[in-house]
């Protein structure tokens, strides 16, 4: 029986033009560069302007990934967009991206799993290729989180940034791509990362707007506890399932939520610092976009090259997590 594998054939990113530093935030709210840096490792973040949307960032990143893969939109069989901040609740932003790319034969859908989204979408795309159903799949992680936060709340607004990145998976007949994966959920902590108003349970009204329920809320202490307890376990499981040790990993890219979380988790599994990719200092938490942005930067910086073994772990709202080990 013929076997297919998902080769990471192209990658690209798109970032808003505007950059907001910690010093600029300190002029608006009760905070300081020292306070933010000490707790999160974040120094700046990209923030969308009026003419930049989830769909435009996603399309820009996708075009760059397609160009590197040597294909165009018409060659795509499927588009998966991971995001929790689309242009509209409906239609799905994946269809907007599909139209802009001229991907006339592609199916398209959105995966809404918060910061876990891109890794979950990548695992899903790989399954479609392994079954032989599709040959060319675009996976996008994109967020415009800064339009969902209260810029007067220093506990949340300092954390997030906007951005997009995409990869193309191509079906090949030689062994490569994802070796092992896992996805998990602990719904008992669903309220720890919450957008209170905007869904069907609590639609927007004058009352919800007055109460500030249109803004994202997060229980930082509980999320920190969840993340630090999850990353190491997930990494151990996928490496074991792949039949390799932590020493065999060339690069580890965790979700870029907080440098302190990443440092704690890496230390807990004795992962050498030079093998851990961190760029949260320049982008903040870009949710579903953080892992693919890091992948594109790792390639561009020469820290990741064809044939390397890459480990990815993401965690986010739900509470959810996803991880995989792959050959790039």
Q: How many CA atoms lie within 13 A of 316 on its CB side?
A: 29
196 pLDDT higher than 90: no
Q: Quote the CA–CA distance of 204 and 195 in Å, as a whole number.
A: 11
Q: Which of 312, 293, 296, 176 is nearest to 250 (CA)?
A: 312
Q: Which residues are catalytic?
A: 115, 255, 285
| Confidence at residue 220, expressed as pLDDT on a 0 to 100 scale | 84
Element (DSSP H or E) covering residue 267: helix 259-268
Q: Quote the CA–CA distance of 13 and 287 in Å, as a whole number.
A: 14
Beta strand pairing status for 163-172 and 217-218?
Answer: unpaired
Tokens of 326: 């792959």
Q: Which residue has the tokens 């990548």?
A: 122
| Confidence at residue 40, expressed as pLDDT on a 0 to 100 scale | 95
pTM, rounded to two decimals? 0.95
| Confidence at residue 274, expressed as pLDDT on a 0 to 100 scale | 94
Helix axes 220-242, 259-268, angle to 10 degrees: 40
Q: Quote the CA–CA distance of 69 and 127 in Å, as a whole number.
A: 20
* Rounded alpha-carbon distances, angstroms, from residue 305 to 7, 8, 26, 200: 13, 11, 39, 45
1 pLDDT higher than 80: no
Q: Are 328 and 308 in contact (CB under 8 A)?
A: yes
Residues 6+ apart with CB under 8 A from 324: 119, 122, 123, 126, 178, 179, 180, 181, 182, 238, 311, 312
Of the given ranges (48-57, 140-149, 194-203), which has the lowest mean pLDDT? 194-203
Tokens of 321: 């997590």
212 pLDDT higher than 90: no
Q: Are 62 and 99 in contact (CB under 8 A)?
A: no
Q: Which residue has the tokens 């039949």?
A: 243
Q: Are 180 and 326 in contact (CB under 8 A)?
A: no
Q: How many CA atoms lie within 13 A of 89 on its CB side?
A: 6
Q: Are 58 and 92 in contact (CB under 8 A)?
A: no
pLDDT in tens, 38-97: 999 999 999 999 999 999 999 999 999 999 999 999 999 999 999 999 999 999 999 999
What are the backbone dihedrals phi and psi of residue 6, each rounded to the nearest 5 degrees, phi first?
A: -90, 105
């Amino acid at each position: 029986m013929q076997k297919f594998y998902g080769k990471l054939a192209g990658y690209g990113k798109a970032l808003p033009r505007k950059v907001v530093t910690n010093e600029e935030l300190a002029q608006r709210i009760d905070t300081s560069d020292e306070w933010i840096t000490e707790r999160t490792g974040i120094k700046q973040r990209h923030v969308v302007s009026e003419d930049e949307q989830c769909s435009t960032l996603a399309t820009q990143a996708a075009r760059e990934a397609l160009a590197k893969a040597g294909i165009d939109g018409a060659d795509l069989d499927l588009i998966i967009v991971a995001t929790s901040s689309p242009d509209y609740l409906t239609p799905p932003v994946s269809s907007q991206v599909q139209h802009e790319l001229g991907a006339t034969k592609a199916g398209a859908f959105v995966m809404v799993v918060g910061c876990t989204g891109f890794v979950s979408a990548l695992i899903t795309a790989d399954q479609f290729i392994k079954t032989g159903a599709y040959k060319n799949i675009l996976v996008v992680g994109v967020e415009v989180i800064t339009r969902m936060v209260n810029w007067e709340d220093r506990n949340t607004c300092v954390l997030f940034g906007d951005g997009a990145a995409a990869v193309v998976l191509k079906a090949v007949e030689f062994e490569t791509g994802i070796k092992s994966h896992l996805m998990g959920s602990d719904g008992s902590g669903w309220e720890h990362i919450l957008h209170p108003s905007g869904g069907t349970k609590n639609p927007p009204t004058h009352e919800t707007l007055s109460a500030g329920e249109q803004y994202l809320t997060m229980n930082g202490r509980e999320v920190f506890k969840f993340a630090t307890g999850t990353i190491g376990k997930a990494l151990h499981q996928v490496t074991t399932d792949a039949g390799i040790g932590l020493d065999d990993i060339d690069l580890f890219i965790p979700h870029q939520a907080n440098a302190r979380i990443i440092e704690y988790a890496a230390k807990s599994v004795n992962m050498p610092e030079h093998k851990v990719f961190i760029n949260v200092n320049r982008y903040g938490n870009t949710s579903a976009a953080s892992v693919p942005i890091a992948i594109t930067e790792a390639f561009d910086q020469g820290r990741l090259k064809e044939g390397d073994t890459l480990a990815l772990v993401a965690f986010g709202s739900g509470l959810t997590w996803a991880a995989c080990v792959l050959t790039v």
